[in-house]
Amino acid sequence: MITRKETLECDLLIAGGGIGGLQAAIDAANAGLNVIVAEKANTRRSGSGATGNDHFMCYIPEVHGTLEDYWKLLQYAQEFKGGKDRDYVYAYLKESYGVVLDWESYGIPMRPHGDWEFTGHKRPGVQGMYLKYEGVHQKPLLTKAALKAGAKIMNRMPYTDLILNDKGEVIGAVCVDLNGKEPAVQLVRAKAVIISTAGSTLMNGSTTMGWMFNLIGCPACTGVSTASAYRAGARLVCLDGAVAATGASGCKFFNRGGKATWVGLLTDIDGNPSGPFLEKPDWQCGDVTMDIFPQVFRMNNEKGVPIFMNCSEDTDFDLDYMIWALRHEGNGATLSHLKDEGFDFRKHMVEFDYKKGGGGGKGVGIDANADTSTTVPGLFSVGVSSGNGMVGSGPAACTGRVAAKTVAEYVKGREFEDIEDNEVVNKSIELFNTLLSNPVDTSTPTWNEAILAVQQTMWDYMGSGIRSEALFRTGLEHMARLEKKLKTLHCANNHEFMRCLEAINTLETAKLCMTSSRSRKETRGAHKRADYPFTDPKYDGMLVTLQQIDGEPVSGMRPMHK
Amino acid sequence: MPPIINKEKCTGCMTCVTVCPMDCFGEAEQPEGAKYPVVNFPDECWHCNGCVEDCPAGAVSIRVPMPLNMVFVDAPKKG
């Protein structure tokens, strides 16, 4: 039987100590709340911001003018093609200047060259929206700031489920402590819970299926956000947006990191530019072709044309700038590998492609209001845990700040409630005991068998380019049969126990994405239905939702917030 | 993938074990009782480079596996 540790108590439990979670922890602790961060790995290097990120989306008044001016830039950059709630985006953009200044005070160089530097991901002659900064040590520095503010960080303690009272309000959460020789149950009594564990990176397979953790985003983000919020009755949004390819581009087979600060021209093998925006490399812009037309890779591949990042015409300054920036965007391993292989920026060019897998950052998850609250009282959602959120360190940190403010108000006057005798707790312990008691031999499946099965199902019945009722029905039947086998997964140690829980949430998230996509009976963007080939105006300005009602998934839609 | 620990340089401080977001590393014990880090789950490395950045002895590097090696080609000759 799994051991049960003494229940912990805090005003605010933050599930996931990535950038959003740590910013929320810093701000909530500074506001006087008693805060616990439950982190699966170690907040010093956990999550997709582990060793830096590709820019920080933020609004700096002295650079951008009014917030409305910044909004227009976003529209012009076609960043919002998929549609985002305007109130949600505004709420965190309003916080971004303050967050950037605070990051400087934590020791993160936000102006490494003296002034605000908005380079990359932009057309020539247009004001940039993404701040270039030195992020390689952002996580250790945010961790330090959170501890200084008084937040308690519990590493190697993944969150697994929410605990609600009879009124449907959050009163705590189930976590698992993996610090000992065997896993232990750690219940946390809390007045509010912020989920900041990001989306599910593992439900869609990598370009290199045999190396499943070769992904753009952190493979430890496996959908506990979406799955646990669904189990607690929260409304989810944009799950139909789950696609096999992330929309991000970068090294074709080496998938850690995205386009980042590659300074060069996107060309074919003969050096002909693939896009219309640049004639020579531009360190201030990068090649914006793949931001605006991510389909440039598919269009060319269908013609038998591979695409490359060609830096052979870069100046010395271009190269120095790019190599400095790539390290701060978490691409240190890419640079080391290229060096080991004898790569020369002047003589060679790197093959680029659309990334597959790791696409939890595309906006697939909890439906969050502009103040980060959800349809479940006491549950708040940050960063890409929200289906209507945006990917990146900036949105993560700024929604973290918004969440901390909202929670500080929410918890006022609330009392702690008993969480020990609760159905969720009993069910969780039953599941943990089952997993721990399954025979560790060839008679039962491993966690990675389960993940591979989910990825194959997602690819063949949802991700291969065409969708239909018959494909969804077939895929969901396969998924239901796989789901029954999840309780037979075996684990030989804490590590495998953690991976088994991840496999369970990965399958649940994949199933919900398929269910939600099935309900969207039209063709729009990457959602191509063979049985509904036309775009239906009834979905214009609408987002597709999914919620558990009386034990069943119920699809719906809501207007995008203006 | 996998991370490589240079045993000559490693001081056994366990920083890599602590920080790896994918839990690739673990602790092992020498017969005389001294602890040292080992790579338990090499296939689960994400190439984030956290271990390389944080190792105070510069003892960790990353070998990128063959399926990820098809990275570059010759650039066209100029002129």
Regarding whether A36 and A120 lie in a shared domain, the answer is: yes
- Between A322 and A54, the higher pLDDT residue: A322
Say if the Cβ atoms of B73 and A269 lie within 8 Å: yes
Q: Quick check: is A210 in a domain?
A: yes
Say if the Cβ atoms of A333 and B73 lie within 8 Å: no
Band of the pLDDT at A259, cuts 50, 70, 90? confident
Taking CA–CA distances from B24, the nearest residue in chain A reads: A495
Among A16-30, A232-246, A249-263, A351-365, which stretch is predicted with the lowest mean pLDDT? A351-365
Output the CA–CA distances (angstroms, integers) from residue A155 to A14, A342, A507, B18, in the order listed.
12, 39, 25, 9
Regarding whether A141 and A240 lie in a shared domain, the answer is: yes
The total number of structural domains in chain A stands at: 3
d(CA B25, CA A241): 35
Q: Which residues contact A357 (CB under 8 A, 6 or more apart)?
A: A201, A202, A204, A205, A206, A207, A212, A214, A215, A216, A244, A246, A255, A455
List strand residue ranges (DSSP E) for chain B, in order: 3-5, 25-29, 35-39, 60-62, 72-74
pLDDT digits (tens, 9 = 90+) for A386-408: 998 888 899 999 999 999 999 99
* Spatial CA neighbour of A197 closest among A407, A53, A329, A365: A365
Q: Which of A41, A340, A349 sits opposite B23 (nearest CB)?
A: A41
Given this model, what pLDDT does residue A3 score?
97
Regarding whether A166 and A203 lie in a shared domain, the answer is: yes
| Mean pLDDT, residues B42-51 | 96
CA distance B74 to chain A (A): 4
Given this model, what pLDDT does residue A471 score?
98
Regarding whether A16 and A97 lie in a shared domain, the answer is: yes
Among A83-92, A420-429, B1-10, which stretch is predicted with the lowest mean pLDDT? A83-92
Which chain B residues are Cβ-neighbours of A251 within 8 angstroms?
71
Say if the Cβ atoms of B47 and A334 lie within 8 Å: yes
Alpha helices by DSSP H, listed for A77-117, are: 86-105
Say if the Cβ atoms of A208 and B68 lie within 8 Å: yes
Given this model, what pLDDT does residue A361 score?
47
Band of the pLDDT at A377, cuts 50, 70, 90? very high
pLDDT digits (tens, 9 = 90+) for A465-479: 899 999 999 999 999
Which chain B residues are Cβ-neighbours of A210 within 8 angstroms?
67
Across chain B, what does the average pLDDT equal?
94
Q: Quick check: is A416 in a domain?
A: no
> A interface mutation test: which of B20, B45, B49 has the most A CBs within 10 A?
B49
Say if the Cβ atoms of B53 and A332 lie within 8 Å: yes
What pairing do the DSSP bridges indicate for beta strands A56-57 and A130-131?
antiparallel
Regarding whether A24 and A125 lie in a shared domain, the answer is: yes
Q: Quick check: is A556 in a domain?
A: no
Regarding whether A438 and A348 lie in a shared domain, the answer is: no
Model ipTM value? 0.96
Given this model, what pLDDT does residue A284 score?
93
Q: Quick check: is A558 in a domain?
A: no
Which chain B residues are Cβ-neighbours of A47 within 8 angstroms?
21
Regarding whether A352 and A303 lie in a shared domain, the answer is: yes
Band of the pLDDT at A360, cuts 50, 70, 90? very low
Regarding whether A204 and A86 lie in a shared domain, the answer is: yes
Q: Quick check: is A528 in a domain?
A: yes
Taking CA–CA distances from A448, the nearest residue in chain B reads: B44
Which chain A residues are Cβ-neighbours of B61 within 8 angstroms?
336
Domain that holds residue A176: 3-244+359-410
Which chain A residues are Cβ-neighbours of B22 within 8 angstroms?
41, 213, 219-220
pLDDT at A351 over 70: yes
pLDDT at A82 over 60: no
Q: Which of B1, B65, B73 sits opposite A349 (nearest CB)?
A: B73
pLDDT at A426 over 50: yes
Which chain B residues are Cβ-neighbours of A253 within 8 angstroms?
67-71
| Mean pLDDT, residues A302-318 | 96
Regarding whether A525 and A384 lie in a shared domain, the answer is: no
Band of the pLDDT at A245, cuts 50, 70, 90? low
Given this model, what pLDDT does residue A359 score?
59
Say if the Cβ atoms of A45 and B50 lie within 8 Å: yes
Domain boundaries, chain B: 3-63
Say if the Cβ atoms of A213 and B46 lie within 8 Å: yes
pLDDT digits (tens, 9 = 90+) for A89-123: 899 999 999 999 999 999 999 999 999 999 998 88
- Quickly count: other Cβ atoms within 10 Å of residue A384's Cβ: 33
The whole-angstrom distance between residue A81's C-alpha and the CA centroid of its chain comes to 18
Instruction: Verify cis geometry, omega within 30 degrees of 0, for the bond prior to B2.
Output: yes
Alpha helices by DSSP H, listed for A138-253, are: 138-149, 224-231
Question: What CATH number is given to the structural domain containing A206?
Answer: 3.50.50.60
Q: Which residues contact A49 (CB under 8 A, 6 or more apart)?
A: A18, A19, A135, A138, A139, A330, A393, A396
Q: Quick check: is A339 in a domain?
A: yes
pLDDT digits (tens, 9 = 90+) for A498-508: 999 999 999 99
> B interface mutation test: which of A214, A272, A346, A449 has the most B CBs within 10 A?
A214
Regarding whether A75 and A61 lie in a shared domain, the answer is: yes
Q: Quick check: is A524 in a domain?
A: yes
pLDDT at B79 over 70: no
Fold exhibited by the domain B3-63:
Alpha-Beta Plaits (3.30.70)
CA distance B32 to chain A (A): 21
What percentage of chain A exceeds 90 in pLDDT?
A: 82
Q: Quick check: is A554 in a domain?
A: no
SS3 content of chain B, % helix, strand, coil (to 5): 20, 25, 55
Regarding whether A347 and A304 lie in a shared domain, the answer is: yes
Q: Which of B1, B50, B71 sits opposite A350 (nearest CB)?
A: B71
Amino acid at A271: G
Given this model, what pLDDT does residue A337 score?
93
* Spatial CA neighbour of B26 closest among B13, B40, B7: B40
| Mean pLDDT, residues A122-134 | 92
Say if the Cβ atoms of A51 and B48 lie within 8 Å: yes
Regarding whether A196 and A54 lie in a shared domain, the answer is: yes
Given this model, what pLDDT does residue A241 score?
80
d(CA A385, CA A221): 10
Say if the Cβ atoms of A330 and B48 lie within 8 Å: yes
Query: Would residue B65 be called left, alpha or beta, if left means φ above 0 and alpha means ψ between -120 and 50 degrees?
Result: beta
